[in-house]
Amino acid sequence: MPRDVTGVGVGVRMEFAQELLDTERQVDWLEITPENWMVAGGKNAWLLAELSRRWTIVPHSVSFSIGGPDPLDEELLAQAFAVIEAVDPPFWSDHLSYSRVGGVYTHDLLPLPFTDEAASHVAERAASFRSRLEVPLLLENPTLYAIPPGSEMSECEFIGASLRASGCEMLLDVNNVYVNSLNHRYDARRFIDQLPLEKVRQIHLAGHTRKGQFVIDTHRGPVPEPVWDLYRYVLRRASSPIPTLIEWDVDIPPLGVLIDEVERARACCREVFGPP
Amino acid sequence: MNLSTFFAEVHPILSGERAAGKRRDFGSEDLLRLSAQLSRSKRSQILAAVYPKTRSALLARLGEAEWRRLESSYFRRHPPRSFSFLECARGFAGDLRRSDRCPPWARELAELELALSEVYVAATARPSAPPAGELRLNPTLRFLTASHALLEWLPSGGGEPPSRQCVILIWRDSKLETRLCEVEGLALAMLAGVQENGSVDPSIGDGLDIWPDLQRLAEALIDSDVIQRNPSPTSGFTSRPTSRF
């Protein structure tokens, strides 16, 4: 039976996976990058089994290339199926982007043009994913550096069109909205206002890095204050608490620091919705 | 622009494979450059993840430009066709043989790092013990023959490893830790016997007054999980005549 996701979780990284098993502090759920756990055996396989005994685990992949032109990668599907067997997730998430063309992986999440054709294409691919893996799929708004040429609508409209066409729910990465708003000079709150928040099933919070005049979505460091502000803004506009996840991928701190961030996210939820 | 055109014409530019040329429809040119640069750096992470020490050693010895050339040349010949970094990087150790500028020890170091990654994720053997009375090699065990003393050199990593023929064992122990050690002739003979016959060949010490040493060596290989035995007290190594071991 699929398990529930509520409260605030962390993205598991090998650097603290063992420590996580030993901690007595509260983490409500976990997210994994499944590609890192698609292994035949060894420590990762053991850790995944142990973690899934204690927490609900949601796979958040980066390789399905949901917007890409190639058929879904059969090897990836087979490995994803094994992950689903291992952790029995309530849903799976990937990105509203593409990462594989002509059989070659970019290992980067590249933007689609904001068009009806692209939204329909995403819908077909999402349907194919769900029919093969029999698990709901959430789509995350990616970070965009170059704006793809040929777009016929705004990014917000494209997200809405893709969600409507695919029937998928959304993973709202608040940091990505903030980073995009700085790089492309728009108002992040207005962007949030235009999103279908009723379709947001999960939120990501993370850090970023300034590089010259731009900002890069690095998942390095604590969640910056403006991102916390934007998170509270999202919560105030939502009708109920939204499961939230802290991502920290570079210069990973001791687990305690990460769980401090979890507690801060919980405090934001209490501030907006009152005690659970 | 339809999607087919987008993937054919725009994708190579977004991913940094091709320059934008005269195209001016990406919005900010600075952001397009940043996008291409970030995309290329993602690909660089593949080799950095699987060959961290080889990369550092070659960067220090050959410089960044030559490392980039090796990396680009590898990915031209082996475009990443898997989501798995290990799969995408697997051919690099062998590919270094093509490079005139890559020192032989760096190729051996790359082979060692590849073996470490492969052993780390190797299939977990079923928990069944070997058949009663037999020993077996750890199913994850790998042998690497090298002409440089890599293990002696790795802790400092300065200069170059000394030249010396050696055999390195790489395996995953029962606590799922990846381990490695250098072994010499007697241990290799012992491991060969276990591999071929499921037992230690009692003749390997004939003519030598080394039985206590052999016994210690065998116990060390068993303790470190290089050799596995049926826990039955009447099996495997301990079933050998005690006069021989």
pLDDT digits (tens, 9 = 90+) for A199-229: 999 999 999 999 999 999 999 999 999 999 9
Say if residues B166 and B146 touch (Cβ distance below 8 Å): yes
**Does the residue A2 lie in any domain?**
no
Model confidence at B230, pLDDT cuts 50, 70, 90, reads low
Amino acid at site A133: L
Angle at which helix B185-197 crosses helix B211-223, to 10 degrees, equals: 60
* Both structure tokens of B76: 């031209």
The answer on pLDDT for A1 being more than 60 is no
Q: What angle do CA A267, A272, A275 make, to 5 degrees?
A: 60
Give A48-75 pLDDT, tens digit per residue.
Answer: 999 999 999 999 999 999 999 999 999 9
Count CB atoms within 10 A of the CB of residue B212.
9
Using CB atoms and an 8 Å cut-off, which of residues 78-97 of chain B contact chain A? 79-85, 88
pLDDT of residue B20: 83
Closest CA to A188 of A176, A205, A203, A200: A176
Its domain, for residue A183, covers 8-273
**How many Å lie between the alpha carbon of B120 and the closest alpha carbon of chain A?**
6
Count CB atoms within 10 A of the CB of residue B233.
8
Closest CA to B132 of B17, B207, B56, B232: B232
Interface with chain A: mutation pick from B1, B3, B4, B42, highest number of A CBs within 10 Å: B3
In this prediction, the answer to ipTM > 0.90 reads yes
Contact flag A40-B46 (C-beta cutoff 8 Å): no
* Both structure tokens of B199: 């037992």
Q: Out of B6, B25, B81, name the one closest to residue A103 (CB).
A: B81
* Both structure tokens of A65: 């290339």
Is residue A108 less than 8 Å (CB to CB) from chain B?
yes
**Does the residue A96 lie in any domain?**
yes
Count CB atoms within 10 A of the CB of residue A258.
24
**Does the residue A176 lie in any domain?**
yes
Contact flag B83-A214 (C-beta cutoff 8 Å): no
The answer on pLDDT for B171 being more than 50 is yes
Number of separate domains in chain A: 1
**Does the residue A126 lie in any domain?**
yes
The answer on pLDDT for A114 being more than 60 is yes
**How many Å lie between the alpha carbon of A181 and the closest alpha carbon of chain B?**
13
Say if residues B179 and B172 touch (Cβ distance below 8 Å): yes
Count CB atoms within 10 A of the CB of residue A81.
14
CATH at residue A69: 3.20.20.150
Give A127-150 pLDDT, tens digit per residue.
Answer: 999 999 999 999 999 999 998 888
**Does the residue A106 lie in any domain?**
yes
Q: Which residues of B touch A69 (CB under 8 A)?
A: 3-4, 7
Which pTM does this prediction carry? 0.92
Contact flag B121-A146 (C-beta cutoff 8 Å): no
Q: Which residue of B has its CA nearest to A211?
A: B34
Distance CA B61, CA B58 (A): 5
The answer on pLDDT for A97 being more than 60 is yes
**Does the residue A3 lie in any domain?**
no
The answer on pLDDT for B240 being more than 50 is no
